[in-house]
């Protein structure tokens, strides 16, 4: 079977600068807390034996922060709320010369009015402390085969507790522009936040999928609980993996 290819395209003469933040297979981003849990066995069952969780960890590819981002969010400055999205140096000229889609000292953001404003009822606005939603400009164009789109989400079961991207689907087979990522800062945990999100920090998981039409149907279930349990009888562990699971491949 021929592999489908997802392409991450970067401008000429930028490989040396961008190589450190090339996307990676999601399996390379499994968190340490999961790795440190003892293996699932007959004596002690653990989350290590939950294949659906592992499938979520390893689905697709991980995108990394293109640059260090210093955030000074929701601090009071002379009786007014202020927020800053600052960069170490002014890189506008060199970024233009290299044709790089990457954040510079001119912040890119969405106004909260695009989500209904302070009185619109969107929980993201309140969580972000009624301040603009800043965007990560991503320097790779993403291309998939005809009929395939990409789901962009925060890393599954492994997102940064300071921020997350807005989830979205892009038809990357026909959309040839760069995909940029609005972010939501975690104002529930950090009412004010001064931090650096370092270059290389995983910030998104991209999962390509084939576009298909679906129709929902509601039906009475004829399978009883006892019949369902019979299918896994005789096995202490790994029943789902051995009886029902289909291997996925992300290269």
Domain boundaries defined on the chain: 7-210
What pTM, to 2 d.p., does this model score?
0.87
Give 227-251 pLDDT, tens digit per residue.
666 566 555 566 667 667 788 888 8
More confident residue, 195 or 170: 170
R_g (Cα) of the chain, nearest Å = 22
User: Is 160 within 8 Å of 29 (Cβ atoms)?
Assistant: no
Give 78-124 pLDDT, tens digit per residue.
544 555 555 554 556 666 777 788 887 667 888 999 999 998 899 99
User: Is 53 within 8 Å of 46 (Cβ atoms)?
Assistant: no
Architecture of domain 7-210: Distorted Sandwich (2.70)
Let me know if 110 is exposed, middle or buried by CB neighbors in 10 A (0-12, 13-18, 19+).
middle
Give 128-166 pLDDT, tens digit per residue.
999 889 899 999 999 999 999 999 999 999 999 999 999
- The predicted pLDDT at position 198 comes to 93
- Which tokens sit at 30? 């499994």
Please give the Cα distance from 232 to 191 (Å, whole number): 48
Is 127 strand, coil or helix?
helix
- The predicted pLDDT at position 47 comes to 78
Please give the Cα distance from 107 to 176 (Å, whole number): 23
């Amino acid at each position: 079977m021929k592999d489908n290819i997802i392409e991450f395209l970067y401008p000429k003469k930028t490989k040396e600068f961008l190589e450190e933040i090339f996307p990676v297979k999601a399996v390379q981003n499994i968190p340490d807390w999961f790795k440190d849990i003892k293996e699932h066995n007959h004596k002690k069952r653990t989350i290590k034996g939950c294949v659906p969780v592992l499938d979520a960890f390893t689905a697709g590819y991980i995108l990394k922060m293109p640059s260090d981002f210093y955030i000074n969010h929701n601090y009071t400055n002379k009786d007014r709320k202020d927020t800053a999205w600052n960069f170490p140096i002014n890189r506008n000229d060199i970024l233009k010369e290299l044709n790089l889609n990457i954040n510079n000292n001119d912040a890119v953001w969405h106004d909260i009015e695009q989500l209904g404003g302070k009185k619109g009822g969107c929980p993201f606005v309140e969580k972000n402390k009624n301040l603009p939603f800043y965007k990560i400009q991503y320097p790779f164009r993403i291309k998939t085969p005809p009929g395939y789109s990409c789901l962009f989400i925060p890393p599954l079961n492994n997102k940064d507790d300071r921020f997350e991207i807005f989830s979205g689907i892009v038809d990357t087979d026909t959309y040839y522009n760069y995909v940029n990522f609005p972010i939501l800062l975690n104002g529930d945990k950090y009412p004010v936040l001064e931090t650096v999100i370092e270059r290389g920090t995983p910030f998104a998981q991209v999962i390509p999928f084939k576009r298909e039409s679906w129709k929902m149907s509601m039906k009475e279930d004829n399978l009883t609980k006892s019949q369902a349990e019979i299918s896994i009888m005789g096995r202490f562990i790994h029943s789902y993996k051995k009886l029902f699971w289909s291997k996925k491949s992300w290269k």
